[in-house]
Amino acid sequence: MTEIKRGWNRRKTMVVLMAFSMIFLASVAILGHIFREEAMVTDFSRKNLAPCLQYPFGTDFMGRDMLIRTIAGLSMSIRLGLLTAFISAVIACVMGLAAAVLGKFADGLILGLIDLVMGIPHILLLILISFAMGKGFIGVVIGISLTHWTSLARLIRGEVLQLKESQYIRIAEKLGISKGKIAVKHMLPHIAPQLLVGLILMFPHAILHEASITFLGFGLSPEQPAIGVILSESMKYLAMGKWWLALFPGLLLVLTVLLFHYIGETLGRLTDPGHAHR
Amino acid sequence: MEENRTVLSIEHLSIIFTQYDGGFEQTQLRTIKDLSLTVKEGEMVAVVGASGSGKSLLAHAVMGILPYNASMSGEILYMEEELNQKRIEKFRGREIVLVPQSVSYLDPLMKVGSQIRKGKKDEASKRKSHSVLKRYGLKEDTENLYPFQLSGGMTRRILISTAVMEQPKLVIADEPTPGLHLEAAKRVLSHFREIADEGAGVLLITHDLELALEVADRIVVFYAGTNVEEAFVSDFYQEETLRHPYSRALYRAMPDHGFHSVPGTQPFAGQVTSGCPYAARCAYTEDACYRDIPYQEVRGGMVRCIRMDSDNGGLHDMGKGDGK
Amino acid sequence: MKRLGITAAKNLIRMAVLLVLVSGAAFFLVSVSPSDPLKTNVGQAALGSMSQEQIAKLEEYWGVDTPPVKRFFSWASAFIKGDMGTSLLYRQPVSKVIAEKLKSSLWLMAIAWVISGTMGFLLGILAGVNRGKLIDRLISGYALITASTPAFWLALMLLMVFAVWLKVLPIGLSVPIGTEASAVTIGDRILHGILPAVTLSLTGISGIAMHTREKMAEVMGSDYMMFAKARGESKWQAIRHHGLRNIALPAMTLQFASISEIFGGSVLVEQVFSYPGLGQAAITAGLGGDIPLLLGIAVISAAIVFMGNFTANLLYSAVDPRIRIGRDQA
C-alpha cells in the first residue's frame, strides 16, 4: 500500500536552509564588493576600538572598520573561490574525460599527473606556484586552480569508465554515433549532477587555501582587504589583547565555508537515490 | 505419540517501509500484508513465492532484525508466547536460528571456522565445529578458508553449520538453494529435513515449489506480500485438491504438468489496494474479489478466496483448466 | 608472499619515477620565477659570506647562462649524491637545515597524526553506529566545523586563549628564546609543542572521522552484521567481532594517505606558533627566495607523502585476505 505522507519532513527543511545559505553568501559577495572602497578608509581618530554598537567588529590599528573589512574580505574570498573552483572544475572535466575516453596511454599519463599534483602537500605546491608566478592575485588564481581538480577528475573518470561499459552506450557505439556526440548527449547528463556537487564542494577548499596562502604572505597583496591579510595583521596585535581583530573575521570565514559545505552536501544528498529512506 | 507443540505462529503480520519517493514526499510501502502461518515441532513448512516478493523480510521479522525504517504489526508467537524484542534477543542464535541466503552474510575478513564457532576458541567448540563440518561432508581444513574462497555449495553447508552448532528448536532457512545445481540443492534441502526429523521446526523460504514439495510437510503459497493458501504436500498431487486459483496456476506451471503460464506479472504488495492480490490475473474474478477476503480453513488447509467455502470443500464453478 | 614482494617492488619503482617527476616540476616552477636568487637581497648578502667555490657552484645551478635542462641535471645529480646545495638564508648546507627542521616537525606531525587518527577513528565508529542520533549529529557537526576551519585561525584562537589570556602555555618557538640548544629540556620541548600539536590534531580528526563514520554505517547495514545479531550477538559484540575488523584497514590506509594534509597543516601551524620546523623553513625560503632550500623541502616532503601512500598500498596487499590470498589463487 503506497500512502503519501504530506506535511513537513527533513528534506524540505534542507531545501529551505540551503536557500537561506545561498542568499546569505550572495549578499555577502555583493555587499563586500559595494563597500570595497570603504574597507580601506583609515581614520586614526578611531583606531584600535573594541567592538561597540557603532563598530560591532571593532576597528584596527589604522582605524579601519573591521565589519566592513571582514565583509569585503569575504566577498573577495567568495568571488575568488567561485573563479578558481570553476577553472578547476573545467580542468577536472577535461582531464577526467580525456583519461576515460582517449585510451590507455592518456589514462596512464593523467593518472600520473594526478599523483604528481597530490604528491606535494597542497600548501607547499601553492607556495611553489605562487613563487613561480611572483606572488599576488595571478599566482593565487593559478595555484588554486591547478591544485584542486584532482579528486573531481578521478570521480569523473570513474563514472565515465563505468558508463562506457553500460549497455546503452555500447549500443550507441555499434550504431555508429560519433564519440563526441555520445559524450555530450548520453554521458554528460549522467555526470552533470555529480559535477555540480563536486564543484560546490570545491569552494570550501578553494576559499580556505586562498586564505591560508594569503595569510602566509604568498597570496593577495597586503593592500587588499582579504581575510588572509586581516588575520595575518591581527597576529601582531594578538599579544596586546586585540582579540576582535582575529575572532570575528575568522568566525565569519568559518561560517562562509561551512555554508558552502552544507549546500554541497545537501545537494549531493538530494540528488543521490541511495538516500531515499533518510 | 503426544501432539507436537506449535513452535512458531505468525498472525496477521504486516511490514511497512517509510521512504522518500524521489521527490520531497515520504511514502509508506507495505511489503508484507496480513500474513499468517504456523510451524510445529518436527515439521517443515515451506513458504513458496516468486523471487523479490518480500519473503526474506518474513525471516528478518521473526529474527527481530528488520531495518530501522521498517515497522511491523501483527503477532509472532514462539512456543505459544509472544515473541517480543526481549524474547527474540534471548532466543536467537540459540533456540531460534537463521540460515541466511548468501555468502554476504558471512564476515568477509574472518575465517569461516571462527564464524561457525562465533569466535570461541575453547576445545569443546572446536571439536563441535569439526564434527559439524564432517556431518556436512566438509574437510576439517575448510575452517581456515575465508568466505570468498568458498564455492556456492560449500557456502550453503557452512551457513547450515552455523545453525546446528546449538540445539535449535526453530530453523528459518532463507532461500538456501539458488545458484546450486539440482543434486546439490536436493542435498542441502535434505540437511534441513534431517534437522526437522530431529525435532526442530523448520521454516523454509523458497521460490522453488518442486524442491519444496520433495522435502516439506506443508506449503504456504505466498503471492504479492501475503499468503493465499496453506496446503499439505499431498494436496499438490493433483490440481483439484488445491484451494486457490494461483496455487492451481503454479501446479500447471510445473514441467510435469505442461508448463502453462498465466499472463501478467505479480504486483508489488504496495500496488495491491484491497481484496485479492491475484484478482487482476485470475480467470474467475468477480466484484467481490476486490473486497476484504477472509483467510479460512478448508479441508485441513487454509485459503484466501471468496469462491472457496468450507461447505462444499472445493472451488465451485471451477473445473480443470483455466476456465475460459 | 611472493606477490607481496612484486607489489612492493612495483610501487617502489612508481614512487621513484614520481619523485623524479616531482623534482622536475618543482625545479621548473622555481626556474620560471621572476626573482633571481643571485640578485635578490638575500642572495646578495649570502654571496658575500660564501667561498669562491660555493659561488661558482651556485652559478652553475642557477646561472642565467646555463640552459634549464642542464641546470636540472646538474642539480639532480648532486642531489642524489646527497648534496642539496647551500641554503642562501641559513648559510648552511640544505641537507643540514632540512635534517634539523625535519626533526622538530616530525615530532609535531607524528603526535598529531597518531592523536587525530585514534580520535577520528573512535569518533567515527561512535557516529557510524549511532547514525542519525544525537551523538552522530554532534560528531558530524564537529567534523564539518573543523573541516571548515582554517588551521591557522584555530591556532590563533588557541594562542589567544591559552597563551595570552590564561598564560598557561608559551606563545611559541619549540624552545625558550635565548636558551642554549644543549640546555633545552624535554619538558621545554613538550610545553612548546602542546598548542601546535593540539591544533593539528583537532583539525586532522574530521577527515578520518567522517570516513570511518561512512564505513561503519555501511558495515552496520551489512548482511553479516545482521546475521551476527541474528546469531545472538549483542550490538557491541558484533561491532567488536566484525565491525572493527572491517573498518580498521580502510581507516589505516586513509590515515597513511593523508600525511600530505597533516604536512600542509603543519606549515600553517608552525608559522603561527613560530615553531622552527620544516614548514616555517619552507615559508622563509619561499618569501626570501632561497631556491635551494625551497626545492629541497619540496622533494623531501613529496618523498614523505609518497612513503605514506606506499605504506597504504602495501598495507592492503599484506592484510586483506581477499587480496593477499585471492591473487595467489587466481
Record: contact B28-A2, CB cut-off 8 A = yes
Record: contact B108-C230, CB cut-off 8 A = no
pLDDT recorded at residue B318: 52
Q: Cα C301 to chain center, whole Å?
A: 7
Indicate the pairing of strand B226-232 with strand B26-40: unpaired
Record: contact C260-A235, CB cut-off 8 A = no
Residue C272: name the closest of A222, A233, A235, A254 by CA. A235
Three-class SS state of C36: coil
| Nearest chain B alpha carbon to A272 | B22
B112, with CB counted inside 10 A (0-12, 13-18, 19+), is buried
Record: contact C246-B104, CB cut-off 8 A = no
| pTM of the complete model | 0.84
Which residue type is seen at B27? T
Cβ pair B69, A277 in contact under 8 A: yes
Indicate the pairing of strand A2-5 with strand B218-223: unpaired
Residue A154: name the closest of A112, A183, A188, A122 by CA. A112
Residue A70: name the closest of A259, A182, A229 by CA. A229
Record: contact C232-B65, CB cut-off 8 A = no
Give the best residue of C156, C268, C271, C275 to mutate against chain A (max A CB count within 10 A).
Answer: C156
Q: Is B30 left (phi over 0), alpha (psi -120 to 50) or beta?
A: beta
Domains and CATH numbers, chain A: 74-275 (1.10.3720.10)
Record: contact C283-A127, CB cut-off 8 A = yes
Task: Summarize pLDDT for C97-113 with one digit per residue, the tens.
Answer: 999 999 989 989 999 99
Cβ pair C255, C117 in contact under 8 A: yes
Indicate the pairing of strand B6-20 with strand B314-315: unpaired
Q: How many helices (H) and strands (E) does chain C have?
A: 15, 0
Give the best residue of B58, B68, B105, B111 to mutate against chain C (max C CB count within 10 A).
Answer: B105
Task: Summarize pLDDT for C12-43 with one digit per residue, the tens.
Answer: 998 899 999 999 999 888 888 776 555 554 45
Confidence bin at C292 (pLDDT 50/70/90): confident
Tell me the C-alpha distance between C277 and C174, whole Å.
9
Q: Which of A167-176, B302-311, C188-197 shows the lowest mean pLDDT across its residues?
A: B302-311
Record: contact A1-B30, CB cut-off 8 A = yes
Tell me the C-alpha distance between B205 and B212, whole Å.
9
Residue A191: name the closest of A154, A156, A148, A151 by CA. A156
Record: contact C157-A129, CB cut-off 8 A = no
Cβ pair C242, C219 in contact under 8 A: yes
- Residue C117 grid cell: 587518527
Beta strands in B41-136 (DSSP E): 44-48, 70-78, 81-82, 96-99
ipTM of model: 0.87
Q: How many CB pairs under 8 A join A and C?
A: 138
Any alpha helices (H) in C231-274, and if so which ranges?
Answer: 235-238, 244-257, 259-272
Residues of A121-149 as b/e, b for ≥16 C-beta within 10 angstroms?
A: bbbbbbbbbbbbbebeeebbbbbbbbbbb
**Contact residues on chain B for C246, CB-CB shorter than 8 A:** 107-109
DSSP C49: T
**B202 sits in which H/E element:** strand B201-206
C160: contact with A, CB 8 A cutoff: yes
Record: contact B109-C232, CB cut-off 8 A = no
For residue B270, give how far its alpha carbon lies from the nearest alpha carbon of chain C (Å). 24
**Contact residues on chain A for C145, CB-CB shorter than 8 A:** 254, 258
DSSP C221: T
Record: contact B20-A277, CB cut-off 8 A = yes
Confidence bin at C55 (pLDDT 50/70/90): low
- Residue C101 grid cell: 627542521
Record: contact A11-B19, CB cut-off 8 A = no
C26: contact with A, CB 8 A cutoff: yes
Half-sphere exposure of C246 (CA within 13 A, CB side): 25
Polymer length of chain B: 324
Cβ pair C136, C203 in contact under 8 A: no
C-alpha dihedral (C32, C36, C37, C42), degrees to nearest 10: -140
Indicate the pairing of strand B218-223 with strand B226-232: antiparallel
Helix axes A104-119, A66-101, angle to 10 degrees: 150
Give the best residue of C153, C199, C260, C262 to mutate against chain A (max A CB count within 10 A).
Answer: C153
Tell me the C-alpha distance between B223 and C188, whole Å.
76
Any alpha helices (H) in chain A, and if so which ranges?
Answer: 10-34, 66-101, 104-119, 122-133, 136-147, 150-165, 167-174, 179-181, 188-215, 227-238, 244-271
Chain B residues within 8 angstroms (CB to CB) of chain C: 60, 63-65, 67, 89, 92-94, 97-98, 100, 102, 104-110, 118-119, 146, 148-149, 162
Whether residue C286 is predicted with pLDDT greater than 80 in this model: the reply is yes
Strand partners, B171: B97, B202
Cβ pair C267, C283 in contact under 8 A: yes
Q: How many CB pairs under 8 A join B and C?
A: 69
Record: contact C329-B149, CB cut-off 8 A = yes
C168: contact with A, CB 8 A cutoff: no
Cβ pair A145, A91 in contact under 8 A: yes
Q: How many helices (H) and strands (E) does chain B have?
A: 8, 14
pLDDT recorded at residue C303: 93
Tell me the C-alpha distance between B303 and B220, whole Å.
10
For residue C48, give how far its alpha carbon lies from the nearest alpha carbon of chain A (Å). 24
Strand partners, B26: A5, B20
Q: Which of A37-46, C74-83, C239-248 shows the lowest mean pLDDT across its residues?
A: A37-46
Whether residue C327 is predicted with pLDDT greater than 80 in this model: the reply is no
What tens-digit pLDDT sequence spans chain B (324 residues)? 456 789 999 999 999 888 766 556 677 777 888 888 999 999 999 999 887 667 888 999 999 988 878 888 999 999 988 888 889 999 998 899 999 988 999 999 999 999 999 888 889 999 999 999 998 889 888 999 999 999 888 998 999 999 888 889 999 999 888 878 888 889 889 999 999 999 999 999 998 899 999 999 999 999 888 888 999 999 888 888 888 888 888 888 888 888 888 887 887 766 666 788 888 888 888 888 888 888 888 888 888 888 876 555 455 545 444 433
Of B17, B24, B270, the CB nearest to A12: B24
pLDDT recorded at residue B120: 85
Domains and CATH numbers, chain C: 94-329 (1.10.3720.10)
Place of cell 531495518: B67
Record: contact B92-C232, CB cut-off 8 A = yes
Polymer length of chain C: 330
Question: Contacts by A191-198 with C-beta closer than 8 Å and gap 24+?
Answer: A191/A156, A191/A159, A191/A160, A191/A163, A193/A271, A194/A155, A194/A156, A194/A159, A195/A89, A195/A93, A195/A152, A195/A156, A196/A267, A197/A264, A197/A267, A197/A268, A197/A271, A198/A89, A198/A92, A198/A151, A198/A152, A198/A155, A198/A156
Of A6, A12, A276, the CB nearest to B19: A276
B33, with CB counted inside 10 A (0-12, 13-18, 19+), is buried
